[in-house]
Structure 1
Amino acid sequence: MTRKLDRGRLVIATHNAGKLREISALLAPYGVDCVSAEELGLPEPEETGTTFVENALLKARAAAQAAGLPALADDSGLSVTALGGRPGVYTADWAERQWFEGEPGRDWYMAMGKVEGLLCQQGPEVDRSCWFSCTLAIAWPEGDEAVYEGRVDGTFSWPPRGTMGFGYDPVFVPNGRSEAFAQIAPEEKHAISHRADAFRKLVAEQFSD
């Protein structure tokens, strides 16, 4: 039987302000007090996993052990059909600037442009279908763990549109919609996103009576 979260303090193992906002909003109705790894001054562990599950567990375990509190980590990314599922687990890596690309850090417009460039190389009829994956991992300091996975399918659209969201949101149009994720209000996105899909599964198991 999966261990249940107490309605108390939970470390969100991220230094990404956008992810923290989304996760905090999704957990707010359940009386969970979210604090980020960044606020606690916890270092970001190196993501050496080759799957979303491995990386999510790696981050959750590190935060739980360092803080002595239960921790929730998210590992998510964009997979493009015509690119064989890339960037996938390396989604954030594609945004990292190389030494010749400017100051160290992440440039998401550059990352989106890399995907578009590779798609354009395959011609105007290229399959632009893609999907966002999200894995949520909870780890307790005592060693208990739980994992929940979500997905949303859509189309890679160019040029980028919208100012809401983060990461690849400006180029992802979910199936059944005409707007990119970055054009959809946060509360509406929360209902349809890959993260929302994973959270529905988490909530069903963690907060059901």
Structure 2
Amino acid sequence: MTARKVVLASSNKGKLKELQNILAAKNVNLIPQSDFKVSDADETGLSFVENAIIKARHACEVTGLPSIADDSGIEVDALNGRPGIYSARFSGKSGAEADPANNVKLLEELSEIPEPKRTARFQCVIVYLRHAQDPMPLI
């Protein structure tokens, strides 16, 4: 039986490998969007769910294949849920310097908050779209 082709709406090699391992037993051939020269979608949503759907829909539209996408970030209680959907670009930096700069900015913003009140959670939403106009994404 031929494996079903599904596009991963990400160019993150680590994410690809992790999901390929999970989906291999389900007879899914997960292909990164970069193999189709799909650019990253603009994350204009106001929630993790909206951004994941935007990314999955963009990959479906360009490739004509089903797609899986995710959106994730950290929500810090003392910062009213920030950085949330802006976690990856919290510091305004991009590329290799983004993660360290985001960490520095987060610690700066928490500097006046006592450690016991520095609670947070990591949120991750994964979306599967069967086609670009799928009215009922699997979330």
TM-score (norm 1): 0.60
Runs of 4+ in 1 over 4 A off after TM superposition: none
Amino acid at match of 2:131: P
Q: What SS is found at the alignment partner of 2:35?
A: coil
| 1:54 partnered with 2:50 | yes
Q: Distance in 1 between matches of 2:41 and 2:19?
A: 20
Number of residue-to-residue matches in the alignment: 136
Unaligned runs of 5+ in 1: 1-5, 98-103, 149-209
Match of 1:184 in 2: none
Shift in Å at residue 126 of structure 1?
4.9
- Name the Cα RMSD after superposition: 1.9
Amino acid at match of 1:128: R
Kindly tell me: are residues 23 and 76 of structure 1, through their superposed partners in 2, closer, same or farther at Cα, counting changes over 3 Å?
same
| 1:113 partnered with 2:109 | no
Q: What SS is found at the alignment partner of 1:39?
A: helix
Match of 1:22 in 2: 18
Shift in Å at residue 7 of structure 1?
4.8
Kindly tell me: are residues 126 and 147 of structure 1, through their superposed partners in 2, closer, same or farther at Cα, counting changes over 3 Å?
same
Identity of aligned residues (%): 35
Shift in Å at residue 11 of structure 1?
0.2
Q: Distance in 2 between matches of 1:95 and 1:25?
A: 32
Q: Distance in 1 between matches of 2:86 and 2:62?
A: 25
Q: Distance in 1 between matches of 2:60 and 2:132?
A: 9
Shift in Å at residue 139 of structure 1?
1.6
Q: Distance in 1 between matches of 2:4 and 2:27?
A: 7
Unaligned runs of 5+ in 2: none
Match of 2:127 in 1: 137
CA deviations on 1:30-63 (whole Å, 9 max, x unpaired) are 1111111122210111110010111111111110
Which of 24, 31, 38 is the matching residue for 1:35? 31
1:135 and 1:147 in contact (8 A); partners too: no
Q: Distance in 2 between matches of 1:16 and 1:95?
A: 20
Q: What SS is found at the alignment partner of 2:126?
A: strand
Match of 1:71 in 2: 67
Larger relative contact order, structure 1 or 2 (CA cutoff 8 Å, min sep 6): 2
The structure that is helix-richer by fraction is: 2
1:119 and 1:126 in contact (8 A); partners too: no
Q: What SS is found at the alignment partner of 1:121?
A: coil
2:58 and 2:132 in contact (8 A); partners too: no
Amino acid at match of 1:64: C
Shift in Å at residue 28 of structure 1?
2.0
Amino acid at match of 1:50: L
Q: For residues 91-170 of structure 1, what are the structure 2 equivalents within 5 Å?
A: 91-94=87-90, 96-97=92-93, 105-106=95-96, 107-122=98-113, 124-141=114-131, 143-144=133-134, 145-148=136-139
